[in-house]
Structure 1
């Protein structure tokens, strides 16, 4: 919702009402990885949800990780409108943000490694925008599915804030919220793997150029010569 020039999230009462069921079908398989987009997913895989600006370029960042990503899909999360359409999300009247869902094998690629990709692929200090893309749907967010994900996300935000502050950046505006109660709605088919189908398509994603330097990174480098993160203890 735009009041003057400042994006603002709608309240549940202000949000569009939506619809009880989706009005489009999601493609069956990932155009790059070949696996189904929708669950149920094979046993042992985990789900992670990240919002870091326009989801076209964001999704590509994750499917390009070397091993461990089973599938990715883009959608809308964190809003009030049921089964929203892209045009409705862009209006600012649903409250959703553009999200990438990453389904990964934690034995090959840890959640910590996904967090590193998330932080380094965008500027998390920009509030309701990412680069030239302005609107509440471009806000930075992590929606967590387990207490372990929540703890890792919080720790990584604290670590990255220290690094950004030392480089002259402001306060991180990234929301870290439980995915429960914040339903993920898959986006329309033409958005799925958009930059694979349109290699010259628009990608407004741009990071700060600052690496997330944490103990996690040291552990990855020490135990995984290939660059893949080990699974966290207990996985």
Structure 2
């Protein structure tokens, strides 16, 4: 847990990865019953639905928060933000991929807005901790908002500003969340998908500031 890298490596020092995913994915979401690889752009999710990506520490508990959110149609966990293609969990844990653990969310914006998802993101983790969440230390646990459209970017940056001002008002540290256009997302192994439905008493890390999003 401790001793993992807390700084990103130069790209030339990261692991080479592989050209194909080294495992097969389940076809369906274990809880929601929807396609795990759902995407409105490929017709595997309803037209008008959107995709969002968040990094907020250990992806087991993070995914559970979102699959329980009304309006979320499908979720999955994976690796994002680094340079190693099709990494394994062990490679990500080494720090030598520069990936963070991420949650991929397909949602109906008529039921839950992207803004609401971002507000949840800020409230259920601590966006001020840099390369860690609680006792989970390493670059794979960094906070990240990866947007998929200019509209999502505008919302992400504005809500980051608003929440940052609220944290400052309370004397809490600055937000360290990485905000950028969504990089390639690589699905995690089947054992990690909907992990807490399979292992209800499994590990959950929800370090947070205790600060609700300002009304």
Same fold (TM over 0.5): yes
Matched, 1:9 2:13: no
Matched, 1:138 2:141: yes
**3-state DSSP class of the match of 1:13?**
helix
Matching residue of 2:22: 23
Which deviations, in whole Å up to 9, do the C-alpha atoms of 1:177-212 show, x marking residues without a partner?
A: 001xx1000000010000011000001122211011
Q: Distance in 1 between matches of 2:11 and 2:4?
A: 21
Matching residue of 1:185: 186
**3-state DSSP class of the match of 2:12?**
coil
Q: Distance in 1 between matches of 2:189 and 2:4?
A: 28
Q: Distance in 1 between matches of 2:161 and 2:188?
A: 31
Counterparts in 2 of 1:79 and 1:5: CA distance versus 1, 3 Å: closer
What runs of 5+ residues in structure 2 fail to find an aligned partner? none
Matching residue of 1:150: 153
Matched, 1:94 2:104: no
Give the greater-gyration-radius structure (CA): 1
What runs of 5+ residues in structure 1 fail to find an aligned partner? 215-235
Counterparts in 2 of 1:72 and 1:189: CA distance versus 1, 3 Å: same
**3-state DSSP class of the match of 1:7?**
coil
Which deviations, in whole Å up to 9, do the C-alpha atoms of 1:89-129 show, x marking residues without a partner?
A: 00000000000001000011100110011000000000000
Which deviations, in whole Å up to 9, do the C-alpha atoms of 1:12-55 show, x marking residues without a partner?
A: 10000000001101111111111011033221110000000000
Within a 5 Å distance, the mapping from 1:11-160 to structure 2 comes to 11-39=10-38, 40=42, 41-65=45-69, 67-160=70-163
Q: Distance in 2 between matches of 1:132 and 1:143?
A: 24
Within a 5 Å distance, the mapping from 1:162-181 to structure 2 comes to 162-179=165-182
How many positions carry a matched residue from both structures?
209
**3-state DSSP class of the match of 2:13?**
coil
**3-state DSSP class of the match of 1:51?**
strand
RMSD of Structure 2 on Structure 1 (CA): 1.3
Matching residue of 1:226: none
Please report the TM-score for the alignment, with normalisation by the length of structure 1: 0.86
